[in-house]
């Protein structure tokens, strides 16, 4: 946050962290929304009016518990920074988070705006006023005490104290917060996850093809059984020269007609296996691919954002140099120097924060990697269960097939499956 916008506490966390409470508090019901009918007032039911334990309407916190949530110290930094102008920095230390960070007044302003945005119906303490130039020691000390009161009230407020923005404000410290080799880690992680994405993309494509084949196999088995049933239901009379085998043909048709039930069952088993693999394998692969794709998109946004920030700073400095031909007053010169300092620090800190987020998101992706074993386990179980159930139907089908091989001119019966134990003589 430098002298101006979102630097140590960039815009992203303030907007992205607007979660449940902002939705509940900032969005009143629409005027045209349906209004429930008003019923007649009834006498209160004594049993229903009893306050249950953990009533959300009651704040069950004592003063000691509120004070114990955190103790934040705000001290002036002895050494002031700046190219030409000097500005005030504060050392903010949190007992709860065991952190110590440096903040400027504008950092508090951005943090204050984030709280107002997220908690419009909560008591957000006011900030002390800002004085642009000529702040004396008394003013600076009074503002330090006011900032200390502000941050302690916020750190002990029940909803505020559990919000991610507070933790970020009290603990994120830019480059000191990150590993020294963060750029190298980022490049390695990006390459690794790109390779994982490519492999999982191929696995997903093959899994989809296997599901498609299972569905097609189910359809083919069903049609196969229907054709056998149609053949067994044929009522075309036999010609006279084939009348000697009429009984054989009649028995054969009856057996063929009965086989359609087993083939319909086989089709159902194949369809079930395909559906199970679609839900347990393909969908989980898609879930993981969506996560990996979001990481790839984040990496691209990080790189594009860094390039955009550097080009923006360069354009601003060139523009400022071009406009500096006119003689400037001391106040204009001071204002331009402060603005350039603010832009540079904002760019650097946003880049650090972007790397910090990438560091966290990389760990999130790796936390999802064990999902691979769940996917493979679901695939193996589906194959084993599917083949087992279909094998049972095929085995039950064999005795019925032997009924087809009857009569003096029948073909030899299919071989029986091997039996356990010694053969009978």
80-89, 124-133, 229-238: range with lowest mean pLDDT: 80-89
In SS3 terms, 170-227 reads as HHCCHHHHCCCCHHHHHHHHHHHHHHHHHHHHHHHHHHHHHHHHHHHHHHHHHHHHHH
CA distance 1 to 110: 8
Please, which residues have CB within 8 angstroms of residue 381's CB and are 6 or more apart in sequence?
Answer: none
CA distance 59 to 120: 19
Please report the pLDDT score of residue 339 as a whole number.
Answer: 61
206-220, 300-314, 347-361: range with lowest mean pLDDT: 300-314
Residue 377 pLDDT > 90? yes
For 382-397, what is the mean pLDDT? 90
Please report the pLDDT score of residue 160 as a whole number.
Answer: 94
Backbone angles phi, psi at 228, to 5 degrees: -65, -40
For 128-142, what is the mean pLDDT? 78
pLDDT digits 0-9 by tens, 169-220: 998 776 555 666 777 888 888 899 999 999 999 999 999 999 999 999 999 9
pTM here is 0.57
Work out the percent of the chain whose per-residue pLDDT is above 70: 65
**Across all residues in the chain, what is the average pLDDT?**
76
Q: Comparing 183 with 347, which gets the higher pLDDT?
A: 183
Backbone angles phi, psi at 52, to 5 degrees: -75, 160
For 369-379, what is the mean pLDDT? 92
- Cα dihedral 351, 353, 356, 360 sign: negative
β-sheet bridge partners, residue 73: 93
Please report the pLDDT score of residue 338 as a whole number.
Answer: 57
Yes or no: say if 339 and 3 are a contact pair by the CB < 8 Å rule: yes
Please report the pLDDT score of residue 27 as a whole number.
Answer: 46
For 292-309, what is the mean pLDDT? 80
Please report the pLDDT score of residue 151 as a whole number.
Answer: 96
78-92, 140-154, 278-292: range with lowest mean pLDDT: 78-92
β-sheet bridge partners, residue 100: 93
CA distance 350 to 7: 6
pLDDT classification of 311: cutoffs 50, 70, 90: low
Residue 245 pLDDT > 70? no
Instruction: Return the ∠ at Cα 81 (arms to 80 and 87), rounded to 5°.
Output: 70
> What's the order of all strands across the beta sheet hosting 99-104?
72-76, 89-94, 99-104
Instruction: Return the ∠ at Cα 106 (arms to 104 and 112), rounded to 5°.
Output: 115
For 222-237, what is the mean pLDDT? 86
For 47-67, what is the mean pLDDT? 73
90-94, 136-140, 162-166, 384-388: range with lowest mean pLDDT: 136-140
Please report the pLDDT score of residue 78 as a whole number.
Answer: 76
39: left (phi over 0), alpha (psi -120 to 50) or beta: beta
DSSP per position, 243-303: GGGHHHHHHHHHHHHHHHHHHHHHHHHHHHHHHHHIIIIIHHHHHHHHHHHHHHHHHHHHH
Please, which residues have CB within 8 angstroms of residue 309's CB and are 6 or more apart in sequence?
Answer: 347, 350, 351
Please, which residues have CB within 8 angstroms of residue 110's CB and are 6 or more apart in sequence?
Answer: 1, 5, 6, 9, 14
Helix axis angle, 283-323 relative to 371-402, nearest 10°?
A: 150
Please, which residues have CB within 8 angstroms of residue 345's CB and are 6 or more apart in sequence?
Answer: 1, 2, 3, 7
pLDDT digits 0-9 by tens, 401-422: 776 655 444 445 555 555 544 4
3-state secondary structure of 92: strand
Q: Comparing 317 with 348, which gets the higher pLDDT?
A: 348
DSSP per position, 21-56: HHHHHH-PPPTTSPPPPPPPP-PPPTTTTSPPTT-T
pLDDT classification of 316: cutoffs 50, 70, 90: low
> Can you tell me which residue has the tokens 């419009």?
120
- The DSSP code for 81 is B
Backbone angles phi, psi at 101, to 5 degrees: -130, 165
Please report the pLDDT score of residue 30 as a whole number.
Answer: 43
Please report the pLDDT score of residue 190 as a whole number.
Answer: 86
Please report the pLDDT score of residue 418 as a whole number.
Answer: 56
- The DSSP code for 76 is E
For 341-346, what is the mean pLDDT? 63
Tokens describing residue 198: 């490519």
Query: In this structure, how many other beta carbons lie within 10 angstroms of the beta carbon of residue 157?
Result: 20
Residue 118 pLDDT > 70? yes
48-57, 221-230, 372-381: range with lowest mean pLDDT: 48-57
78-92, 186-200, 215-229: range with lowest mean pLDDT: 78-92
């Amino acid at each position: 946050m430098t002298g101006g916008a979102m630097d140590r506490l960039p815009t992203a966390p303030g907007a992205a962290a607007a979660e449940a409470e902002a939705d509940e508090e900032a969005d009143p019901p629409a005027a045209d929304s349906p209004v429930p009918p008003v019923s007649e007032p009834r006498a209160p039911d004594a049993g229903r009016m009893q306050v249950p334990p953990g009533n959300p309407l009651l704040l069950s916190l004592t003063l000691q518990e509120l004070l114990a949530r955190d103790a934040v110290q705000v001290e002036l930094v002895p050494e002031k920074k700046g190219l030409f102008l000097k500005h005030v920095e504060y050392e903010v230390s949190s007992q709860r988070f065991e952190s110590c960070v440096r903040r400027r007044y504008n950092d508090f302003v951005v943090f204050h705006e984030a709280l107002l945005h997220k908690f419009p119906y909560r008591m957000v303490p006011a900030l002390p006023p800002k004085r642009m130039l000529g702040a004396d020691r008394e003013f600076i000390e009074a503002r330090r005490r006011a900032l200390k009161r502000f941050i302690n009230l916020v750190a002990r407020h029940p909803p505020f104290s559990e919000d991610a923005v507070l933790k970020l404000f009290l603990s994120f410290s830019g480059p000191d917060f990150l590993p020294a080799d963060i750029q190298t880690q980022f490049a390695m992680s990006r390459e690794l996850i790109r390779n994982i994405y490519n492999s999982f993309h191929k696995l997903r494509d093959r899994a989809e093809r296997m599901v498609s084949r299972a569905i097609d196999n189910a359809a083919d088995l069903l049609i196969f059984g229907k054709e056998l049933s149609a053949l067994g239901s044929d009522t075309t009379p036999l010609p006279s020269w084939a009348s000697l085998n009429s009984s054989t043909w009649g028995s054969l048709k009856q057996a063929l007609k009965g086989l359609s039930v087993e083939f319909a069952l086989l089709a159902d088993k194949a369809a079930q296996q395909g559906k199970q693999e679609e839900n347990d394998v393909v969908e989980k692969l898609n879930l993981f691919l969506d996560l990996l794709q979001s990481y790839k998109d984040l990496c691209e946004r990080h790189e594009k954002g860094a390039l955009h920030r550097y080009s923006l700073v360069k354009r601003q400095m060139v523009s400022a140099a071009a406009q500096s031909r006119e003689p400037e007053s001391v106040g204009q010169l001071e204002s331009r120097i402060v603005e350039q300092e603010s832009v540079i620090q904002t760019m650097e800190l946003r880049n650090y924060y972007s790397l910090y987020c990438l560091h966290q998101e990389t760990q999130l992706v790796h936390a999802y990697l064990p999902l691979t074993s769940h996917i493979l386990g679901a695939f193996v179980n589906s194959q084993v269960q599917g083949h087992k159930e279909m094998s049972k139907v095929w085995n039950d089908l064999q005795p019925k097939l032997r009924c087809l091989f009857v009569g003096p001119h029948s073909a030899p019966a299919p071989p029986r499956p091997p039996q356990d134990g010694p053969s009978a003589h």
